[in-house]
Structure formats: C-alpha cells, structure tokens
Amino acid sequence: MLHPIYNYAYHGTPSLLLAATRPDSPTLQSLSAVLFDPTLGLIGNFPLFLIVVAGALLTLTWRDRLALFSADIVVAGLAAGIFLFSFSRTMNMHHGGTPGLSRYGVWLIPLAVPLLSAAERAAHGLWPRFLWTAAALSFVISLFAFHPAVPQNSREPTWLATFLWTRFPAWNNPLPEVFIESQLQVADPWVPVSTAGCEKVLVAGRDGAESVWPVPCYPAPLPAECRPTGAMCYANRQDQRYEFTPVPARWAGAGKLRVDAVWPEDAVPHVRRLYEAWNWRSLHIGTESLDLLRAAVGVSVAPLGSEEQFILVLRNLRPGARLQLRPTRPISGVLVDAMTGRTLSSEQYNGAPGDFYTVAGLTDTTLTVDRPVVADHPVGTGIYAVDERVYEIDASSYGRPVLTVSIDGGSAQPFVDGVEAFDVAYVLDPCPPCDTVGLPVDATEWRLVREIAIEAAVRSRTAGDDGQYVHESGEFRVKPRNLL
C-alpha cells in the first residue's frame, strides 16, 4: 500500500500510469486481444501454447474435475483475468519490443504452470509425452523466432492475420491501431489502409467526402454511418462486393489522411464507371507486376488483372513519363484521364518483331522458345541473348514505396525500401554535349549510348513525430562493361 499512498501524497493520484490508460469500460475485443488477435495475440504468435492449455483443461475436465478448483489454479485464473482487464485499458495496445507478440502475452504464459502441473499429475500415458514434445518443439522454435537479433514487429502481419484478412476478411476486424501499424509500419493513425489485394480496407469518414479510398481499390460508396468525420469502418470484400463494419467509437477517430494514396475527389465517379465497365470484380487486385509491363519511367503504376485483361492505374506523372510493354500477342486498350473520364487515346499492338522469349531448349541447329512467336522471323533475323532486369516502384503492396526487381521475366521481388522515384536515362555520344534520352528510338541511337544516368528519390522508412518523412534525391551515372 505504500506505493499508491506515496504517489497520492506527492502527485495527487494513486499511480502515474493512470494517465496512460483509457477511462472507459473495456470491450470484449480489447479484453481478448492479447489472447486472440491474430497479429499481436498468442493465437497468431504462439498457437502451440494455447493448444497445450486447451489440452490441459480437457484432461482435467475428463480425469479430475475438482482439480480445476484448487487454490493455485483459481489464483492463477484470477490473476489472468486481472491482467487482461489491465491490458485492455492501455493507450498503446500495439507496442514494440517483440517480433510481433504482445509483451503482455508473455506475462500470461507463466500463469499456466499450475494448470499444466495438475494435468500432468492427473493424466497418464500420452499426455506427459505430448507435453514434453510440445516443450521441446517450443524451445527449438523460440531459438529462431524470438532470437534477440530478430527486429521488432518484423513478422507483422502474421501468417494467420494475412490468411484471415485476405481470405475471410469479415471474420476479423482488428483494433484500428493494430491494422494500421502492421500494414504501414508507422506509429501514427494514417488512413486509409488496405491489404495488398484490397480484400480488407480501413476507411475514415471525411464529412461525406469521396476521397477516402486508397488507390487502386474500388471506391465504393460509403454507408451513412461511415461518412461523418471521426467515424471509421472496415470494408470487407464479400461475394464480389464490399460489406461495411463500423469501428466502435472508442477505437475510431478521424486519423491522418494519406493524401498521396487516395483517389482524388473529382476522379471517384469516373473511376467507379471505368472499373464497372471493365468488370473490376473479375480482376485480381494486388498484382505485384504484369509480365508484359517491362518498364515504367517517370510514373508510378498500380496494376490490376492478368495478362489477358488488365487496368494500369498511373499516378505521379513526371515529364517524359512512359510505359514499356512487351505483350505476347496483339492487344488493344484506351488511355483515360481519371479526373475527367475523357478518353485521351486508343492504343493497339499487333505483334511486331522485337519480343523477348525465354529459351526452353537449344541444339546445334535449333533454338526452342517458351511460347509461340507472334511474327515471322525470316532467315537472317538478329537474335540476341539478353539478361533482363526490370526495376519498378511498387507503392501499393507494402504500404510504402519499394523498388522491386524482376529477373528474366520472373516475379517482382523487393529490392530497395523507400524509393519514390527511379528514372533511367541514356547518355549519348558525342560527349560533350552528352545528350540524354529516355529510351533510344532505333538501332542507330542505341549504338551512341555511352552511359546510363539514374536519378533516384528516397524517403525514410517511417514518418517523424510530425507525420513527415525525410526525403533525399540524387543522380549518378554508370557505364556497363559492354560500353567500356
């Protein structure tokens, strides 16, 4: 009693920690988060422990039910209840310091000792062997999963959270703090936030404004309860449409709008019309890259769909912006201004020579490629070996801009974190004047290339206390070995 008396005498409160707790009543979700939240709870980070505890409860219920009411088990149970109540009142449910598991969850683990001890006394045969096997398995896993070298929050979202949010998004609506911080890796309440495939989206109302949806998700109309400022809702994709679940008021708030990540207000009605016309429900959202999209210079691209039918959402256009496509068959499409809905141009490709192929087989007289050629290649046609690297900025899959690389037509892999711009230009002879072009137009100009100029812009991984990122930019030149 001395500690609260001392604090009250000198500070006017029984505990200084009361200023860091919520004054309102806890909810079932906040009470159970340390146990059952798939991101920070025991179920997503230490499921073996819950399995063992459940097994011990079943064992005692079957063999020695009175042992469940023994003094040590009752005291441990009461302590667990007090702990869960205390945890639910914290202002910072999603904290750091672990690879993902809430530190409060660690406090609960020793409370299972009386239960496991009673189960071992009551059980015979398989139970002790199961307990020893589980302990040994837990020991081996913990050596790697909780090694001090593992960065904090590095396994977020967990495999269970990813599975639920992408396959069954309506099954779990986590505390907004948990969803935001695990998806964006930031400490501030930035909104909107979505999974990579837009299966689950957290939106915050802005007095009925439409610019609350993240690109490239379909900007569905918000229901009335989600539109006021301060309201938050989860939009869960179900049966090819979004169903909305309001976030309880105690956990909701206006948040901080990610202005650079949302559809502009004027674009929303046109985007809805275009997405509906292209049957967006049949398109896969969250595609890391399309094989036919070989390069994007001076523009950020968010692809939807597949090689057969796709939408490319173009943002952050800079002077000289261009896309380089390598389709495997004739295709056609339109370039549309999302702000006005006006068609700017119609594009068509009929399979001209110059395509890339993967070599599937080789003999002294025959070269076999991985797919049918799309045009005639008469005798004397030049065939060249190419080691291809495609660099692209992915601004949607990781919640922040990441420079990815795909090698020889493979899937895009994360390469450099925090890259906002990566522009490549070719420096031509003579030098001086060292003219640069975005892409040589023909074989003659390709022969004049002497260097490659790369201009990059990067930002810090996390925002500062003011919500702003640190930005740096620069240019450097390289000369590949075949240009020496």
182: CB partners within 8 A, 6+ apart:
39, 94, 153, 156, 157, 161
Residue 224 backbone dihedrals phi, psi, to 5 degrees: -60, -40
Q: Burial, 332: exposed, middle or buried (Cβ in 10 Å; 0-12, 13-18, 19+)?
A: exposed
10: left (phi over 0), alpha (psi -120 to 50) or beta: alpha
Residue 249 backbone dihedrals phi, psi, to 5 degrees: -55, -35
Structural tokens at position 46: 């230490």
Structure confidence by residue, pLDDT tens digits, 140-153 = 988 888 888 877 76
Structure confidence by residue, pLDDT tens digits, 313-340 = 988 888 878 887 777 677 888 889 988 8
Query: Average pLDDT for residues 418-447, to the nearest whole number?
Result: 81
103: CB partners within 8 A, 6+ apart:
95, 97
The SS3 call for residue 301 is: strand
Other beta carbons less than 10 A from residue 81's beta carbon: 11
In this prediction, residue 386 has a pLDDT band, given cuts at 50, 70 and 90, of: confident
Q: Tokens 């395509």 identify what position?
A: 355
pLDDT of 484 higher than 50? no
Pair 399, 183: CB distance under 8 Å: yes
pTM reported for the whole predicted model: 0.69
- Cα–Cα distance, 58 to 63 (Å, whole number): 9
Q: Where are the domains of the chain?
A: 2-145, 159-282
The three-point CA angle 244-250-255 to 5° equals 70
Structural tokens at position 143: 């050596």
User: What pLDDT does residue 246 have?
Assistant: 94
**Cα Rg of the chain (Å, integer):** 29
